[in-house]
Structure 1
Amino acid sequence: MRRRHHFHTDHLGHSVSATVQTGHTVVVEVLVDGKETGHATTRRDVPVTVTVELPTDPPTRATVQAAAGPGAPLCHFEAPDTGPRAMDPRPY
């Protein structure tokens, strides 16, 4: 059964959202300021890292690491000026 889980954080004035769609193949989509900037697929329990760029001057590279299981999915955001931090789950 496929299910979508949503996560969000703000960094340097930019919105970073991730959607993790669980199932046999896990699909991770990352949006920065509402625009899709990265996606990846993986197997059920294998964590995946998606690299994105924040539209700063100069652009800031960041990563979103998603783990689909076991249990509820988790997402962590990491940028060069900050350590990894958990992204907040969203109920929609």
Structure 2
Amino acid sequence: MRRRHHFHIDYRGHSVSATVETGLRPVVEVLVDGKETGYAAIRADRPVTVPIELPTDPPTPATVRATAGPGVPRCLLIAEGDPDQHVMASRLY
């Protein structure tokens, strides 16, 4: 059964959203400021890292690390130059 889980974080003035779709073919889609910037297939409930760029001057490389399971999916935002990993909050749609 397919199910969509949505995550969001506001980081350095930019909106970063991720949708993790579970089921037969799990995938993760990442949007920055409403534009699709990353997409990846998830294999065997292993974490997947999706590279993105934040539209700063100069652009800031970052990654969204998504885990589809087991259990409830989770997402982290990891920005270059920032030693912290930021948990993306689950969002209802």
Question: Would you call these one fold, judging by a TM-score over 0.5?
Answer: yes
The separation in 2 between residues aligned to 1:34 and 1:76, in whole angstroms, is: 18
TM-score by length of 2: 0.94
CA RMSD of aligned residues (A): 0.9
Runs of at least 5 residues in structure 2 that lack an aligned partner in the other structure: none
Q: For residue 68 of structure 2, what is the aligned residue in structure 1? A: 68
Q: For residue 55 of structure 2, what is the aligned residue in structure 1? A: 55
1:25, 1:44 within 8 Å by CA — same for their partners in 2? no
The separation in 1 between residues aligned to 2:33 and 2:42, in whole angstroms, is: 24
Q: For residue 30 of structure 1, what is the aligned residue in structure 2? A: 30
After superposition, give the CA deviation of every residue in 1:15-57 in whole Å (9 maximum; x if it has no partner): 0000000012211000000000000002241110000001100
1:7, 1:87 within 8 Å by CA — same for their partners in 2? yes
Work out the percentage of aligned pairs sharing the same amino acid. Answer: 65
Give 1:80 shift. 1.9
Q: Which structure carries more strand by proportion?
A: 1
2:49, 2:65 within 8 Å by CA — same for their partners in 1? yes
1:22, 1:44 within 8 Å by CA — same for their partners in 2? no
The separation in 2 between residues aligned to 1:41 and 1:56, in whole angstroms, is: 27
Task: Count how many residue pairs are aligned between Structure 1 and Structure 2.
Answer: 92
Runs of at least 5 residues in structure 1 that lack an aligned partner in the other structure: none
Name the stretch that deviates more: 41-50 or 2-11.
41-50
TM-score by length of 1: 0.95
